[in-house]
């Protein structure tokens, strides 16, 4: 193996390790913040009716939220599949503000779900 080829392999492995470490760190941060991790692969196996029911349920939960800005942000993220950057441009606020609103609204939604026994 030539030294140049070894350097390329080392760089590829370094990038892969960095990616794995970043994924672990990201998952840990999400757990720490108690955000609900959504496994999208499990949704892809659902039938059409199940997906529609899930979307309707999420829409009802969003409509029940007391915060108007939070409603708009959650609706755009989870129903319209927009990014935080797109929403920040539409609302004229920073992406960090959208992220904070999302976190605050998710916490409120979580408390609502627990208090109304939606979760098993």
Per the CB < 8 A criterion, the answer to whether 111 and 70 are in contact is no
Surface-to-core class of residue 119, CB atoms within 10 Å of its CB (0-12 exposed, 13-18 middle, 19+ buried): exposed
**Confidence at residue 91, expressed as pLDDT on a 0 to 100 scale:** 92
pLDDT along the chain (120 residues), means of 10: 76 81 76 55 56 72 80 86 91 93 87 65
What's the CATH architecture for 52-120? Orthogonal Bundle (1.10)
- Would you state the structure tokens that stand for residue 42, as one six-digit string? 């499990």
The Cα-based distances of 28 to 6, 61, 82, 101 in angstroms read: 33, 26, 24, 21
In sequence order, which ranges of the chain are alpha helices (DSSP H)? 3-32, 40-44, 48-63, 68-78, 84-91, 95-115
**Confidence at residue 92, expressed as pLDDT on a 0 to 100 scale:** 94
**Confidence at residue 43, expressed as pLDDT on a 0 to 100 scale:** 47
Surface-to-core class of residue 76, CB atoms within 10 Å of its CB (0-12 exposed, 13-18 middle, 19+ buried): buried
Per the CB < 8 A criterion, the answer to whether 57 and 100 are in contact is no
**Confidence at residue 95, expressed as pLDDT on a 0 to 100 scale:** 92
pTM equals 0.52
């Amino acid at each position: 193996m030539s030294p140049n080829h070894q350097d390329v392999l080392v760089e590829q492995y370094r990038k892969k390790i960095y990616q794995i470490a970043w994924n672990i760190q990201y998952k840990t941060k999400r757990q720490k913040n108690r955000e609900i991790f959504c496994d999208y692969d499990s949704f892809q196996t659902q039938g059409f009716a199940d997906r529609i029911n899930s979307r309707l349920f999420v829409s009802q939960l969003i409509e029940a939220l007391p915060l108007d800005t939070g409603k708009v942000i959650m609706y755009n993220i989870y129903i319209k599949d927009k990014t935080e950057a797109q929403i920040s441009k539409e609302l004229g606020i920073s992406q960090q503000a959208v992220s904070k609103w999302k976190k605050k609204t998710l916490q409120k939604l979580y408390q609502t779900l627990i208090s109304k026994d939606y979760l098993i």
